[in-house]
Structure 1
Amino acid sequence: MELDRELLKRIQAIFSEFTPQKLTRNPCIVEAEQVVRMIKEKQPFVILDIRTPLEQEFIAPRLKDTLYIPMHELFKEENLEKLPKDRTIIVLCHTDRRATAVVIALRLLGFGNTFVLKDGIKGLAERIGKDIYRELL
């Protein structure tokens, strides 16, 4: 296998930004309990749900007041323009794997106030309890 050296340089430049010092100063993960507290305190933030339509239909429905843009459509210019630049964005998927990749890309694009919901919507439902979770639907 021959490496694409130009692509490798670009990838290296991207990931060199994620130093331990930078990640410690500006962690990219929020816990379910933090999100519930932010909702109760009416803090200005947006939940960005990047799950597929099938995931929403069969696994867990959308939360209230959520911006829904599936991951495969998010990086179109018209969809990026829908993201607020002046508020925190919490990205969620089913667990948190895809959300992590999306947060890395969004931060590189200048959305520095972007965070992953740890364990995704699945973890949210498990960790905060059914009653509170139902209030969010």
Structure 2
Amino acid sequence: MIKKIVTGAVLFSTLALNLSAFDTNKAEDFDAFYSHMTQKACAASKLSIGSDEVMQMLREEKKFTLLDIRTKGELAVLGLKTANTVEMPLEHLFEKENLAKLPTDELIVIVCYSGTRATMAAASLKMLGFKNTRVMKGGIVGLAQGNTPKSAPLK
């Protein structure tokens, strides 16, 4: 009887320990990725790209993908209509078939409303191996502010 109780307690403890454990390998990957992201490093980051630079790339018809990760509701109010634009809401971005639609050999500029979701998406895409990703500084708001008669890509 005591042997059954001790064996049960050991099994329960082992099971409880495994249920509360986290993925050590993923934690190490996140640590390696985020450990260098001090305030100074983030301020100097080349992760963001200004609306003026994106407008210039559109004017010059540069090859890049403008990945719009806003919700369908946001897109219904204001959408980006360029040949470069791929609309893929963040909630569906990491589905296997959607990741397969993204280029691995060219720049991906990610756009959301203000840049917050785009920053999370860019960091995650970089961890998945999409090395050439940037975040539109200021999001769609920044892009709208950067769209002037002088900078507009329309001819």
Please confirm whether the aligned pair reaches a TM-score higher than 0.5, indicating the same fold. Answer: yes
Secondary structure of the equivalent of 1:16?
Answer: helix
Note closer, same or farther for the CA distance 1:53–1:28 as it changes in structure 2 (3 Å cut): same
> What are the within-5 Å matches in structure 2 for residues 94-133 of structure 1?
94-129=113-148, 132=151
> What are the within-5 Å matches in structure 2 for residues 1-137 of structure 1?
6-7=22-23, 10-11=26-27, 13-18=29-34, 19=36, 27-58=46-77, 60-65=78-83, 66-129=85-148, 132=151, 135=154
Q: Hey, what's the Cα distance between the residues in 2 that align with 1:110 and 1:43? A: 22
Per the TM alignment, residue 126 of structure 1 is displaced from its structure 2 partner at its CA by 1.3
Per the TM alignment, residue 37 of structure 1 is displaced from its structure 2 partner at its CA by 1.2
TM-score by length of 1: 0.81
Q: Is the 8 A contact 2:52 2:151 kept in 1?
A: no
State the AA in 2 paired with 1:13: D
How many equivalent residue pairs?
A: 132
Q: Is the 8 A contact 1:125 1:133 kept in 2?
A: no
Q: Hey, what's the Cα distance between the residues in 2 that align with 1:35 and 1:64? A: 12
Which runs of 5 or more structure 1 residues have no equivalent in the other structure? none
TM-score by length of 2: 0.72
Considering only CA atoms, is the larger Rg found in Structure 1 or Structure 2?
2
Secondary structure of the equivalent of 2:105?
Answer: coil
Structure 1 stretches of at least 4 aligned residues deviating more than 3 Å after TM superposition: 20-26, 130-135
Q: Hey, what's the Cα distance between the residues in 2 that align with 1:35 and 1:134? A: 10
